[in-house]
Amino acid sequence: MAHSKPKTPGTAQHFLECGSEDCERNCEFYCNSCHHQMCKPCRDQHLKIPENKNHEVVLYQQRRRQLPVKKCKIHPTKEIDIFCKECNIPLCSKCSTMQEHHGHIFTDLETIYTEKFTHCQTELSKIHNYFIPTSQDLQREVQEDATEVKQIMDSIRTSMKAEAESLKNMVDTVLSENMEELHQIEKSLLQKLKSQEKTFDDYIAYLSDLVKEFQSYLSSTELTNFTTKLPDNLKIKSIPETTKPVTPEFSPAQYNKADVAKLFGNIIQTDRKAELRRVKSMEIPPIATSTKSTSEQTKQDKHVKSDKKQTLSLSASVTKVREFNEPGVDTVYHVSLDQSGRLWISDWDGNLVKTDLQGNEIQKIETSGGSQGYHTVTQDRDLIFTDRDKKVIKRITQDNNITEFINTGDWKPLSIHSSQINGDLLVGMEKDREGKVIRYNKTGKELQNIQRNNKGRELYRYPQYITENINGDICTSDYFNGVVVVNKSGQHRFSYTGQKSRFWPFGICTDVLGHIMVCDSNSESVHLLDQDGQFLSLLLTQQQGVRRPRSVCVDDENNLYVGQRDTKTLTVYKYLK
């Protein structure tokens, strides 16, 4: 069997091909003995060759890494391929026969290299998929705490100012009352003094009259005035008795700063211990390290993987389960699954219809419409949809109460998805031929703004469909930029722009295995990618009756729903086994 140079994927745009000459089938297996990647037919042919009988053929994910070619410095014609456990150094086969290694234990260097290589991959996977995102989440939590601290401190400052103002008002009130009381005392005292002043005016007038009378006697030449008219016992009235005013005194209150602080209130630093931030547990799928044969690995997988999700795999063919029409729409541009076994279906003209799985209309809403994935159903079974014209996002609760709970400003909200992981809302937006993705929490608070990659380049132009993968990746279908995938921290992971022909992406969804499915209107097919962006196959094509696919989604039973542009029909397929 002739071998050509292995065709490994250069980017996430290409699928892994069989390494055999003139074979373009997908690679599934790997020969650890001759380091050759192959499809199932080529594997079978490879093992039929007598000299390959004992070759170790495993699944491609379980392959051993081929040693880098390195010549021995002592024996330049030999390659280093074994490891001396005693000396802890790599050697060539000829070195192992030398006297200094006599009686030492040797092992296959390729096995050690594979283990170390896999360990590095595992650790890198942990760093990229757990440690960095988790640290960024905690960093964002710290930033949110800082914002909350500032808000709390501002609130305390406002309360203290209000308390101080209240105390000032109370002091002003007491001062005003005391001033009024003092004024009344002053007024009363002055009235008494004025009365005393009049008493003395009257007495002085009396004395003046008496003086005149006595003077008249003194100036008279008539003796009879002295003898007959001047009384012997004439007495002058006593000076009127008056009292001096008794003025009040002011007795200042005896207080200090502590007394004022008691009235004002104190800042209390609680003795509550600071809680440790919760670090979520690491749940990263391990990189396969087994070097067992295919049959041995299959037996082990059956023993370990018992739940339904773990035993699912792609079927050899796609089977149509059923299809039904929805009269309330003209086309099927987007489908949202309700947890109650109901569907929300929309068309270009703004008709948004709730239907059962037989196509019976339950409810109909008029919206601003469009060819985007502009509606989604939350974990609480509320319907969320965007209004491009008003640039708002609306919510319809189970009791049909409609509210506008997010305003997107100058940006047109095109697509929306409610996370099944944490309930966050992911919204694709567009403005002036620029795009972005915003993450909101359930209440509409903005949590994340994703617009550029780490080189400052725009990621999006028109993110018209959006969804989330099982690992938290945000997957968007951008009409101009293809499929754009970022991790949950907003870091660009990969982009997919189709195969050979022009790629016109529309509806996009993911499944329990992390597959990404996206509609391609140009090739009239549904592309299937793995979680890392590797093209796996054209899942549905024109040969299966697909014409201009626009929407895809997967339900809890792993059924694939496909809607098309020029029909009211929704078709359901089985593609996993």
Looking at residue 550, its pLDDT comes to 94
How far from 348 is each of 330, 351, 373, CA to CA, in Å?
8, 7, 11
% of the chain beyond a pLDDT of 90: 39
pLDDT over 50 (residue 301) = no
Q: What is the mean pLDDT of the chain?
A: 85
**Domain 311-576 CATH superfamily:** TolB, C-terminal domain (2.120.10.30)
Please report, for the chain, the start and end positions of each structural domain, with discontinuous segments joined by +: 128-264, 311-576
If phi over 0 gives left and psi between -120 and 50 gives alpha, with beta otherwise, what is residue 341?
left
- Range in 163-172, 274-283, 471-480 with the lowest mean pLDDT: 274-283
- Region 303-324 average pLDDT: 72
Looking at residue 337, its pLDDT comes to 92
DSSP assignment of 205-229 equals: HHHHHHHHHHHHHHH---HHIIIII
- Range in 173-177, 234-238, 264-268, 395-399 with the lowest mean pLDDT: 264-268
Q: For the chain, what is the radius of gyration of the CA atoms?
A: 47
Looking at residue 316, its pLDDT comes to 83
Looking at residue 294, its pLDDT comes to 39
Interval 423-449: pLDDT, tens: 999 999 999 889 999 999 988 999 999
pLDDT class for 288, splitting at 50, 70, 90?
A: very low
Looking at residue 419, its pLDDT comes to 93
| Neighbour-count burial of 323, counting CB atoms closer than 10 A to its CB (0-12 exposed, 13-18 middle, 19+ buried) | middle
User: Looking at the DSSP assignment, which residues form a beta bridge with residue 518?
Assistant: 508, 527
% of the chain beyond a pLDDT of 70: 89
Looking at residue 14, its pLDDT comes to 44
pLDDT class for 305, splitting at 50, 70, 90?
A: very low
Dihedral through CA 252, CA 257, CA 258, CA 261, nearest 10? Answer: 100
Looking at residue 12, its pLDDT comes to 44
Q: Which of 183-194 are b and which e, b meaning 16 or more Cβ less than 10 Å from the residue's Cβ?
A: eeeeeeeeeeee
pLDDT over 50 (residue 297) = no
pLDDT over 90 (residue 186) = yes
Interval 240-267: pLDDT, tens: 999 999 998 888 877 788 877 777 777 7
- Region 363-390 average pLDDT: 91
Write out the H or E segment, with its range, that includes residue 191.
helix 132-219
pLDDT over 70 (residue 332) = yes
Most confident of 146-155, 176-185, 333-342: 176-185
Whether residue 375 contacts residue 334, with contact meaning beta carbons closer than 8 Å, is answered with yes
CA atoms within 13 A on the CB side of 68: 4
Whether residue 64 contacts residue 32, with contact meaning beta carbons closer than 8 Å, is answered with yes
How far from 360 is each of 343, 357, 394, CA to CA, in Å?
10, 8, 25
DSSP assigned state of 327: T
Looking at residue 152, its pLDDT comes to 82
Q: Which of 278-298 are b and which e, b meaning 16 or more Cβ less than 10 Å from the residue's Cβ?
A: eeeeeeeeebeeebebbeebe
Whether residue 527 contacts residue 535, with contact meaning beta carbons closer than 8 Å, is answered with yes
Looking at residue 283, its pLDDT comes to 61
Interval 59-92: pLDDT, tens: 887 787 777 888 899 899 888 889 898 899 999 9
pLDDT class for 270, splitting at 50, 70, 90?
A: low
Whether residue 462 contacts residue 485, with contact meaning beta carbons closer than 8 Å, is answered with no
Looking at residue 286, its pLDDT comes to 45
What is the value of pTM for the model shown? 0.50
Q: Quote the Cα angle for 97-102-108, to 5°.
A: 65
pLDDT over 70 (residue 45) = yes
Looking at residue 358, its pLDDT comes to 84
How far from 177 is each of 41, 168, 391, CA to CA, in Å?
104, 14, 58
Looking at residue 228, its pLDDT comes to 61
